[in-house]
Chains A and B, each alone.
Chain A
């Protein structure tokens, strides 16, 4: 379609273009069109396979327990109600976990983004002596990692065990984000801008705050959301660094309920009918928990989606 956009005569260009596309349609009618149909079918099938379990989980969380157990829920909710959600928002473990996850996500997003910008901006400056050495030194541990035990010992020696800092600090900065941000700055902040603001008497701090940061809203958004989603979805650091249940993030609570069925223990001793009702509610509860845990990242990601294709490209060029 764009093949003749650079043509000097627009009228002639359009004419040739339509002629070319007419000719192409004739030729494409066999193998090319078949390929397009097959492509659309294959990626479409993949998309359905991804979407179906997610819809099923959400539908089940709104359905009645009897409908879930009898297999009546196929795609849409059956006997829609909000019992399970009411139940989980009444549960102290869940509410604490939810609030903790929010705290970790916000703190992790802010701290991670600040560290990333502070690393990426100076390293994007061609006139910084030793930038290759510093960058290399930052990248070495990503190629050769110390493993969980030495990292655990550091957290222990810093007396961070069983504090919120243990969740926020050790993984605060990701080198992957630093590289992408660094590449973004190299492309979007021209040297003339720096020189112009130097003439205006701005130093590097002022330049970063007043020129670079306003220009880097897209990459800041990507960083904030990546770090926030990372914290929201994390559970392993809390498993090894926390024993105090009041600090547990949502994912750890989720793991206990979903994968270890730890709630059933205190449901013993009631009569049979109540037990069945509770079992049904518990089954629904699991779906509702899954739905609540997966929703925030799914809501957040379309906002960054358009940025990270560009980010990935910049990252891959580096």
Chain B
């Protein structure tokens, strides 16, 4: 405002310059049209639909015609006997996964990076990436086959040592371990790619200089490689905190059965059951739980980002 008052001609010429640039680049805006339409339809319209959480939605009245009920459905969720078990399962499962799944790719990347033989390195890398490209159905399918209590490979092995057959996937106390470590099996190799890229971006002169000074490989990993990948690590950790309530939903759903449901019911599977699977779908209630989850996730993300900026001076934004 004041800038325009003081220098009207400068500001207006800048604005007309921008207008001319927009006019000259109109074709770029035309290109952006399809992705923007996509975003409006499938990213923003659902956001608009989130208001269902605050309404008594009925299919007959539509979203706009349904009456507002405030926080009724949020209260229903918090008061329900499903609330604490579901929250607890979600948090335990995902923190366990973060704890196991986050450091291993870093270690793998550092180890792989310190190998001499380029051929061996490339071969191993190719194998480590592979399972990321398998579908969740296939991975869970492989697990079901290998862990089958009647003749599965693992039970044959344990039977060889005299142990009786174990129904691994039906045993609630084993569910979390199987979920997390099969996740490490599937994704550790691929998650490592970003650290490999960051390691490749480290100036080789740093390593050469350290070598001349007689630094051992371990010291170079500690003083050059680790600081070099720290920014990427922090960004990924912050992003992981944001998705800590929703990772692996499809896999949980596939691994869930009536025996392990006590430890495998997470927020997302509960939403799916309440909202889509039941014979009387409760759209408003399910949406409210989803909103609850999204808000919590965003808050976690912002907290993690704030903490990261305070502690390490690197952050997502």
Contact = CB atoms under 8 A, between A and B. Distances in A.
B204 A300 contact: no
Most B CB within 10 A of own CB, among A39, A71, A158, A208: A39
Nearest to B45: A154
B134 A69 contact: no
A32 interface: yes
Secondary structure of the A contact surface, majority rule: helix
B138 A122 contact: no
A291 to B, nearest CB: 9
Contacts of A60: 145
B18 A141 contact: no
A50 B130 contact: yes
Contact of A128 (B28, B138, B212): B28
Given A71-B151, A147-B291, A129 B144 contact: no
Given A146-B47, A150-B287, A204-B31, A255 B137 contact: yes
Given A144-B298, A150-B287, A290 B194 contact: no
Nearest to B232: A316
B290 A313 contact: no
Interface stretch (B76-84, B91-99, B113-121, B171-179): B113-121
Interface string B135-169: 11110111011100001010010000000000000
A119 B137 CA distance: 31
Given A69-B151, A146-B50, A204-B27, A293 B135 contact: yes
A149 B286 contact: yes
Interface in A34-65: 35-36, 38-40, 42-44, 46-47, 49-51, 53-54, 56-57, 60
Q: Chain A: interface residue count, which band?
A: 35 or more
Q: Chain B: interface residue count, which band?
A: 35 or more
A212 B48 CA distance: 36
A286 B25 contact: no
Given A47-B123, A148-B275, A204-B28, 13 more contacts: A36-B116, A50-B185, A60-B145, A118-B32, A121-B28, A141-B39, A146-B47, A147-B294, A150-B49, A293-B141, A305-B129, A315-B194, A316-B194
Instruction: Pick the 9 closest A-B CB pairs, nearest first.
Output: A147-B290, A233-B135, A150-B49, A146-B46, A313-B197, A119-B35, A141-B43, A204-B27, A297-B133
Interface of B: 18, 21-22, 25, 27-29, 31-36, 38-39, 41-50, 52, 63, 108, 111-112, 114-117, 120, 123-131, 133-138, 140-142, 144-146, 151, 153, 156, 185, 188-189, 193-194, 196-198, 200-201, 204, 208, 211-212, 214, 216-218, 232, 235, 242, 246, 250, 253-254, 268, 271-272, 275-276, 283, 286-287, 290-291, 293-294, 298, 301
Interface of A: 2-3, 20, 24, 27-28, 31-32, 35-36, 38-40, 42-44, 46-47, 49-51, 53-54, 56-57, 60, 68-69, 71, 114-116, 118-119, 121-123, 125, 127-129, 134, 137-138, 141, 143-154, 158, 169-173, 178, 203-205, 208, 229, 232-236, 240, 251, 254-255, 258-259, 286-287, 289-290, 293-294, 297-298, 300-302, 305, 308-310, 312-313, 315-316
